Structure 1
Amino acid sequence: MKLLAVALSLLLPPVISSAQNNADTVAKRPMAMQLNVGTQGIGLAFNYEVINHLSFRAGINAIPLKANDVFKISGVNSTSNVSANFYNIHFLADYTPFENQEWFRLVGGLAYFLKAEGNARIIPSDDYKYGDLTLTEEQIGYVDLTVDWKGLAPYIGIGLLRNFPKNKFNVNLDFGTYYLTKPDADIVGTGILSGNSSQSEQLRDNIKNYRWLPILQVNFNYKF
């Protein structure tokens, strides 16, 4: 029994020390909250380093935009209302490929766009005369064009400047692109413009390759 006690006294300190070191290593892995602003709107993300040179980000971004009279149709007096609503949750991996070069990262991952819709409504603003008949704006109607990219989208890009702050705060950059799902599109007309609805299929064909969403993003990071 004495021999066993001596053996345990010799073995336990290194085991305990090793466990403490492992716990300290895990505890020292950097974590940060991120506020970002860019072409995918404004968002929040949580960033955690899982091993040296590799960290994961999980976040959400949103673009709720509306604008009036963005464009005009030649020869027609009209008003236009344009909106863009993009909301996504994303999971990204940041990899620093070069030793002692923390300013450069490779970034890849996946997003799910809960909503990814653009809409334009064109409203003629004058009465329309057809022979002796005068049609009001209400009788003329309006045309709605809607494009929808809702769904999964892979992401690839690069990051510049340090991923995690040395102290508490820093700023870094992301450049990349999402590859969106094949867009669905519809044209809906009212009044005498209702015949434009038949052009939906042509619109889908015209925009079928509009699937790249470029990302330029500034990230403000706070390390725990």
Structure 2
Amino acid sequence: MRKKYLFLIAIFYTILSIQSQNTPSNDVLNTTNKTSSKDSISLSEISTRKNAIGVSFGTSGLGFNYARKFNSKLNAFITYHSLTIKDKELDASSFLDNDDVDFLGKAKSTIIDLGAEYLPFKNSSFKLAFGVGFLNDVSIDGLITYKEDIQLGAVTVSKQDVGKVVINSKWSGAVPFIGIGFGRAIPKNKLGFGIDIGTYFTKTPEVTLTADKLFAPTQDELSNLQDAFSTLTFIPRIQFRLTYKL
């Protein structure tokens, strides 16, 4: 799978590189009998090609970014994101309709973005961003347990003996993303700041539900749970980014 991703990345950058070049520039670089004006244009185009690295933070977690400028309006980038949230206690009484249970949630995410940004206006940092995100390990898990012992008639059942419900959801595969933002991936100065706001368009996640002891009948609700998750086909892509031009 990694070889497949690397192959796609190589194709992507090759296509962008070819499209960013024009015939006069190639003629100047490879032919010695062109005019001096064309030489100066070619040198100018070469001098404006820059690279940048950056760090970002947002809904996808901490990210590390590399960007390449192809012309004044088009930049390509590749970003690695990683996110881990462990055992975060949430108030789930509203959607579980039960004040007597605890909900412990955790999430993790590993995403590789392969994309480009288009800057339509010469004197503005406004941009359109688009590309493909490779969701290698994106999951949200939940653990439901009772807060206290429960009373069943004359019998007291400890909360450990009541049991638990474990919910796992996972997204995977290559998915498109699109968004808008401000701030160039290749800043005009050495340092630059940017923000991206968009979304990944995903498939319905895989959902599993396991329950034991007194919670065991809850497993019959898996189909309803799957239906509830079927609408989660959008993953927010919001990033704040700091870049350094090389």
Tell me, in whole angstroms, the C-alpha distance in 2 between the residues paired with 1:219 and 1:26. 26
Query: What is the percent sequence identity of the aligned residues?
Result: 22
**Structure 2 residue 55 is matched with structure 1 residue 32:** no
Spell out, residue by residue over 1:22-52, the C-alpha distance to the aligned partner (whole angstroms, 9 max, x if none). Answer: 5774464111001111122110110001233
**Structure 2 residue 82 is matched with structure 1 residue 62:** yes
Q: Go from structure 1 to structure 2 and tell me whether the alpha carbon gap of 1:68 and 1:103 turns closer, same or farther (over 3 Å shift).
A: closer
Does the CA contact (< 8 Å) of 2:135 and 2:174 recur in 1?
A: yes
Aligned twin of 1:134: 156
Does the CA contact (< 8 Å) of 2:92 and 2:102 recur in 1?
A: yes
Tell me, in whole angstroms, the C-alpha distance in 1 between the residues paired with 2:120 and 2:205. 35
Q: Go from structure 1 to structure 2 and tell me whether the alpha carbon gap of 1:58 and 1:201 turns closer, same or farther (over 3 Å shift).
A: same
Spell out, residue by residue over 1:142-187, the C-alpha distance to the aligned partner (whole angstroms, 9 max, x if none). Answer: 1111221222221111121344222211101111111122112121
Aligned twin of 2:109: 86
Q: Go from structure 1 to structure 2 and tell me whether the alpha carbon gap of 1:133 and 1:104 turns closer, same or farther (over 3 Å shift).
A: same
Tell me, in whole angstroms, the C-alpha distance in 1 between the residues paired with 2:98 and 2:133. 42
Paired residue type of 1:94:
E
Aligned twin of 1:104: 126
Once superposed, what is the RMSD of the aligned Cα atoms?
2.6
Does the CA contact (< 8 Å) of 1:138 and 1:191 recur in 2?
A: no
Aligned twin of 2:71: 51
Tell me, in whole angstroms, the C-alpha distance in 1 between the residues paired with 2:153 and 2:212. 21
Aligned twin of 2:140: 118
Q: Tell me the CA shift for residue 192 of structure 1.
A: 1.8
Q: Go from structure 1 to structure 2 and tell me whether the alpha carbon gap of 1:75 and 1:202 turns closer, same or farther (over 3 Å shift).
A: closer
Aligned twin of 2:18: none
Between structures 1 and 2, the one with greater helix share: 2
* Secondary structure, aligned partner of 1:204: helix
Tell me, in whole angstroms, the C-alpha distance in 2 between the residues paired with 1:123 and 1:113. 30
**Structure 2 residue 156 is matched with structure 1 residue 156:** no
In terms of mean alpha carbon deviation, does 103-112 or 177-186 score higher? 177-186
Pick from 202, 212, 215 the counterpart of residue 234 of structure 2: 212
Does the CA contact (< 8 Å) of 2:68 and 2:186 recur in 1?
A: no
Q: Where in structure 1 are there 5+ consecutive unaligned residues?
A: 1-10
Between structures 1 and 2, the one with greater strand share: 1
Paired residue type of 2:76:
F
Q: Tell me the CA shift for residue 212 of structure 1.
A: 1.1
Q: Go from structure 1 to structure 2 and tell me whether the alpha carbon gap of 1:33 and 1:197 turns closer, same or farther (over 3 Å shift).
A: same
Tell me, in whole angstroms, the C-alpha distance in 2 between the residues paired with 1:107 and 1:165. 16
Aligned twin of 1:3: none
TM-score by length of 2: 0.76
* Secondary structure, aligned partner of 2:70: strand
Tell me, in whole angstroms, the C-alpha distance in 2 between the residues paired with 1:113 and 1:96. 26
Tell me, in whole angstroms, the C-alpha distance in 2 between the residues paired with 1:185 and 1:109. 26
Does the CA contact (< 8 Å) of 2:77 and 2:185 recur in 1?
A: no
Q: Rg larger in 1 or in 2?
A: 1
Paired residue type of 1:52:
S
